[in-house]
Chains A and B, each alone.
Chain A
Amino acid sequence: MQSHPTRRTRTVRATAGLAGLAGAIALVAAGCSSSSGDTTDPSPSASGGATHVDVTLTSAGGGDACQVSTSSVPAGPVTFTVTNKDSAAITEVELLSGDRIVGEKENLAPGLAPVSFTVTLGGGKYQVYCPGAQTDTTDLTVTGEAATPTGGVQDVLAQGTKTYGTYVDGQVADMVTAVKALQAAVDSGDLEAAQKAYADARPFYEKVESDVEGFVLPGSDPTDNKGNLDYLIDMRASNLDPAVGWHGFHAVERDLFEKKAITGSTKKLAAELTKNVDQLSSLAKGLSYKPEDLANGAAGLLEEVQANKIKGEEEKYSHLDLVDFAANVEGAEQAFANLEPGLEQIDPDLTKQVATQFANVKTTLKDYEDPSALGGYKTWTPELRKADAAKLSQAIQALQQPLSKIAEKVATAQ
Chain B
Amino acid sequence: MTTEPRPDDVSAPASEAAAGTSPGAPASGRFSRRAFLGAGLGGLAVGALGGAGGTAWARSDGSGSASAAASESPETAYAFYDQVHQAGIQTPQQHHAIFVSYDLTTTDASDLQVLLARWSAAISELQRGQSLGAVQPSHANAVPTDTGEAADLGPNGLTVTIGLGPGVFDHRFGLAEHKPAKFADLPQLPSDQLEKSLTGGDLSLQACAEDPQVAYHAIRDLSRMAQGTAVVRWTVMGFGRASAGKGQTTPRNLMGFKDGTRNIKDDADFQRFVWHDGVDQAWMKGGTYQVARKIQMHIENWDTDYIGDQQNVFGRSKQEGAPLSGTRELDVPDFARKGADGDPAIPATSHVALAAHENNGGLKILRRSYNFTDGMNADGQINAGLLFIAYMNDPAAFVTLQTKLGRVDRLNEYIAHVGSGVFAVPPAPVSGSYVGEALFR
| Contact A296 B111, beta carbon cutoff 8 Å | no
Determine whether B218 belongs to the interface, using a CB cutoff of 8 Å to chain A.
Answer: no
B-chain residues with CB within 8 Å of residue A292 when the two chains form the complex? 141
Partner of B121, one of A12, A88, A295, A405: A88
Q: Which of A89, A111, A112 has the most CB of B within 10 A?
A: A111
Is A174 positioned at the interface, with any CB of B under 8 Å from its CB? no
Which of B117, B140, B142, B231 has a CB less than 8 Å from the CB of A111?
B117
Let me know if B109 is at the binding interface, CB within 8 A: yes
Does residue B122 face the partner (Cβ distance < 8 Å to A)?
yes
- Out of A91, A111, A136, A411, which one reaches B434, CB within 8 Å? A111
Stretch at the interface among A13-21, A47-55, A329-337: A13-21
In the assembled complex, A4 has its CB within 8 A of some CB on chain B: no
B228 touching A398, Cβ below 8 Å: yes
Distance in angstroms between the alpha carbons of A17 and B106 in the assembled complex: 9
CB <8 Å contact, A12 and B228: no
Residue B220 at the chain A interface, CB threshold 8 Å = no
Q: CB-CB contacts of A79-123 with B at 8 A, as 1s and 0s? A: 000000111110100000000000000010111100000000000
B432: which of A13, A110, A136, A353 is its contact (CB, 8 Å)?
A110
Determine the distance from Cα of A112 to Cα of B436 in the docked complex, in whole angstroms: 12
7 closest pairs, A vs B, by CB? Answer: A109-B117, A12-B110, A86-B432, A408-B142, A88-B124, A407-B141, A88-B121
* Nearest CB in chain A: distance from B317 CB, A: 45
Question: Does B441 touch A at the CB level, under 8 Å?
Answer: yes
* 0 or 1 for each of A261-302: is its CB under 8 Å from B? (1 = yes): 000000000000000000000000000000010011000000
- CB of A397 within 8 Å of the partner chain: yes
Interface residues of B in 69-123 (CB under 8 A from A): 80-81, 105-106, 108-111, 113-114, 117-118, 120-122
Interface contact A111-B429, CB-CB below 8 Å? yes
What is the size category of the interface that chain A forms with chain B? 35 or more
- CB <8 Å contact, A109 and B114: yes
Taking CB atoms, residues of chain B closer than 8 Å to A131 are: 29-30, 133-134
Chain B, interface size category, equals 35 or more
Asked if A9 is an interface residue, CB under 8 A from chain B, the answer is yes
**Chain B residue at smallest Cβ distance from A112:** B117
Q: Are B133 and A132 in contact (CB under 8 A)?
A: yes
**Which chain A residue shows the least CB distance to B223?**
A397
Which of A10, A132, A353, A404 touches B110 (beta carbons < 8 Å)?
A10
- List residues 13-32 of chain A with CB under 8 A from any CB of chain B: 13-18
Nearest-neighbour CB distance to chain A for B34, whole angstroms, equals 12
Q: Mark B278-315, 1 if CB is under 8 A from A, else 0.
A: 00000000000000000000000000000000000000
Question: CA of A295 to CA of B228 in the docked complex: distance in angstroms?
Answer: 19
Identify which of residues 357-414 in chain A touch chain B, using a CB-to-CB cut-off of 8 Å: 357, 390, 394, 397-398, 400-402, 404-405, 407-408, 410-412
State the Cβ distance, B101 to closest chain A Cβ, in Å.
14
**What would 9 more interface pairs be, CB under 8 Å, given A17-B110, A407-B143?**
A14-B117, A16-B114, A59-B431, A107-B114, A111-B432, A111-B433, A132-B30, A132-B133, A402-B228
Q: Which of A12, A88, A111, A407 contacts B125 (CB 8 A)?
A: A88
A85 proximity list for chain B (CB < 8 A)? 432
Q: B137 interface residue, CB < 8 Å from A?
A: yes
Which residue of the partner chain B has the closest CB to A407? B141
* Chain A residues within 8 Å of B224, by CB: 401
What are 6 A-B residue pairs whose CB atoms fall within 8 Å in the complex?
A12-B114, A88-B122, A110-B431, A398-B228, A402-B228, A411-B140
